[in-house]
Amino acid sequence: MTRLLDILEDYLLFRGFQYCHIDGNTGGDDRDVYIEGFNKLGSGKFVFLLSTRAGGLGFNLATSDVFILYDNDWNPQVDLQAQDRAHRIG
């Protein structure tokens, strides 16, 4: 279900926006690098494309302001958990 993320990534590339993208194919070390790069003070990356299944555990994107759920999971609890993580403080 990451096809929508690929479409959004194509748009971001076309517009020249800086972003991070994590899905089920992203390795653990790369995930840490992307998260640190996104949260880094002064980072130009303002979009983080993330599948709810791949990013369901251990993520802290405290510097994000907006959370948009583009593609619902078949299990509504996964989406609710993702929303709760987005509203986590610190």
**Residues 35-53: tens digit of each pLDDT:** 888 888 888 888 888 887 7
How many whole angstroms separate alpha carbon 33 and alpha carbon 20?
10
- Total count of domains within the chain: 1
- 58-85 in b/e form (b: 16+ CB < 10 A) is ebebeeeeeeeeeeebeeeeeeeebeeb
Residue ranges making up the domain that contains 77: 3-86
Banded model confidence at residue 13, pLDDT cuts 50, 70, 90: very high
7: which residues sit within 8 A by CB, 6+ positions away?
Answer: none
Predicted TM-score (pTM) of this structure: 0.75
